[in-house]
Amino acid sequence: MRIKTRSLSTQLIVSLGLLLSIFGIMQGVSSYRLALVGVDALLDDRLSTVAARIRDVYEAAIPHRSNGSGNADDIVVVVWTAEHKSPARTTDSAVVFDRNSPTGFSQQFAAHEAWRVYTLVTYDEVIQVGQRISVRVRMAQDSAARALMPIYVLIPAVWIAVYICVRRAFRVLDRLGRRAQAIDSAHLVALPDEGLPVELLPFVSSINRMIQRLDESMRLERDFISDAAHELRTPLTALKLQADNLQGDIAPQNRERFQALRRGIERTSTLVEQLLQLARADAQMTSTPPAALELTALVASVVSELLPIANQKRIDIGASELTPARICATEPDLHAVVKNLVGNALRYTPAGGSIDLRVLAADGYARIEIADTGPGIPEDALPRVFDRFYRVNHGVEGSGLGLAIVRAIVTRYSGRVTLENRHDGVTGLRAVVEIPLLAEDGVRCAEATG
């Protein structure tokens, strides 16, 4: 079951954005309500101010009778005097308020509409100024909506600001992540701790201590492999020399057993060499730095080297296609890869069979294909062929380490190797090695592998 990974920066952006948006919305609601109250109070003040001005200055400007201005937004002024039972002056004859209202504000119903009315009672007259409730509500809502305009702009701006701030804060983590991703057994470099936030320093210090311990462990492993190579090869070489020196003194009846002894020494020497080769590949040890390598020349060299064995077994071996392909690697490593795969093909292909090699370059990879006409491998055994010491056919001489060496070396160069049975009407096995092509843009080979 695959566990979904969540981005910490995304979580922070969403959390902070939502939190600030909620506060912004709450502030907007509060501002909206305050605006409604404020506009209502302002309109009330306007009504009372108009009533006072009419009493003091502008009463004569109010007509005795009027059919109104036709604008529903206008206020209506009604002036009552003691000697008149109907309004003495009015701006709209169709609207009549209750003249008995005390001084102050009241809600009244006139001309089939609800009104907010301010009544001013003096010693000889009553002045009433009214405004439709529907107009007041609309004006208050329009004004409150305008007060919300900054909120509409603020919320998107908050999200943008949060995104920018979080991404800037996580930029240092991205740099550390890229540096950490570049660390492997061949490139053990401590992470930089200059200019880091104090919260990251303990984590980076722990990683650097781990890298230091790993580097020391790898150094001890490389020293052990170097010492083991010397200590194991020396006695085996001595045994081979002694056997060669004794060959002429062996009695005829003992020569068969002597040859079995020599073959055993050869197998042991080969096994030790393969073990050391596998250990070097696992530890990413190499005596020479990677360099630009032309695969076609190397494949041709391996074929020439193994051609006598193929001729002895009457196996047709050759290359049907050699496309120029340059990779970044060491020649001993790639030589071991091709030789192990071709050697396996020679070992399992019967007399009269054939082995065909191809070198291709496509999709950024150099591709080596080795197809034989051997018996192939049972499908259920294919997933295990790269396991160490695993052998499909125990009747064929071998150590079970060749394919493990191939995979270790190819993986070291960020490549991949696969084995599959042929499905082109011919019994046999097809081995495919893919290694990234060397870029043609001037990138140094050491950088490409590092």
One-letter-per-residue 3-state SS of the chain: CCCCCCCHHHHHHHHHHHHHHHHHHHHHHHHHHHHHHHHHHHHHHHHHHHHHHHHHHHHHHCCCCCCCCCCCCCCEEEEEECCCCCCCEECCCCCCCCCCCCCEEEEEEECCEEEEEEEEECCCEEEEEEEEHHHHHHHHHHHHHHHCHHHHHHHHHHHHHHHHHHHHHHHHHHHHHHHHHCCECCECCCCCCCCCCCCCHHHHHHHHHHHHHHHHHHHHHHHHHHHHHHHHHHHHHHHHHHHHHHHHHCCHHHHHHHHHHHHHHHHHHHHHHHHHHHHHHHHCCCCCCCEEEEHHHHHHHHHHHHHHHHHHCCCEEEEEEECCCEEEECHHHHHHHHHHHHHHHHHHCCCCCEEEEEEEEECCEEEEEEEECCCCCCHHHHHHCCCCCCCCCCCCCCCCCHHHHHHHHHHHCCCEEEEEECCCCCCCEEEEEEEEECCCCCCCHHHHHC
pLDDT, tens digit, 9 for 90 and up, residues 294-333: 888 888 888 888 888 888 888 888 888 888 888 888 888 8
Q: For residue 122, what are the CA distances in angstroms to 74, 103, 119, 374?
A: 24, 9, 10, 122
Query: What are the CA-CA distances from residue 365 to residues 251, 324, 440, 445 (Å)?
Result: 57, 12, 13, 15
**How many CA atoms does the CB half-sphere of 431 hold within 13 Å?**
27
Nearest to 38 by CA among 128, 134, 141: 141
Distances (CA, A) of 244 to 78, 153, 262, 273, 319: 136, 92, 9, 20, 37
Q: What count of other Cβ atoms lies within 10 Å of the Cβ of residue 296? A: 18
Is the four-CA dihedral 193, 199, 200, 205 of positive or negative sign?
Answer: positive
- In this prediction, residue 407 carries a pLDDT of 84
What pLDDT, on the 0 to 100 scale, is given for residue 89?
Answer: 84
* pTM, rounded to two decimals: 0.49
Residues of 193-230 as b/e, b for ≥16 C-beta within 10 angstroms?
eeebeeeeeeebeebeeebeeeeeebeeebeebeeebe
Instruction: Specify burial of residue 150 (Cβ count, 10 A radius: 0-12, 13-18, 19+).
Output: middle
What would the pLDDT profile of 200-241 be if each residue is shown by its tens digit? Answer: 778 778 888 888 887 787 777 666 766 666 666 677 777 777
> What is the rounded CA–CA span in Å between residue 138 and residue 135?
5
pLDDT reported for residue 233: 67
Please report how many Cα atoms fall inside a 13 Å half-sphere around the Cα of residue 155, on the Cβ side. 15
Give the tokens for residue 424.
């082109």
Q: Which residues contact 264 (CB under 8 A, 6 or more apart)?
A: none
Residue type at 111 in one-letter notation: A
Q: How many whole angstroms separate alpha carbon 92 and alpha carbon 128? A: 12
191 near 181, Cβ under 8 Å?
Answer: no
Strands 354-362 and 416-421 turn out to be unpaired
Please report, for residues 106, 299, 357, 413, the alpha-carbon distance to residue 339 in angstroms, rounded to integers and kept in the order given: 105, 9, 12, 17
For residues 283 and 330, give the distance between their C-alpha atoms in angstroms, rounded to a whole number: 15
The domains located in the chain, with CATH, are: 10-149 (no CATH), 201-279 (1.10.287), 287-449 (3.30.565.10)
Give dist(CA 406, CA 412) in Å, integer.
Answer: 10
71 phi, psi to nearest 5 deg: -100, 115
Q: What is the pLDDT of residues 233-252, one digit of tens each?
A: 677 777 777 777 777 777 77
Distance of alpha carbon 193 from the chain centroid: 24
Q: Please, what are the averages of pLDDT over each run of 10 residues along the chain (450 residues)?
A: 64 84 82 82 89 80 69 82 80 85 89 90 87 88 80 83 83 76 68 75 82 78 66 71 73 75 73 66 62 85 86 85 85 85 85 88 87 84 72 57 79 85 84 83 48
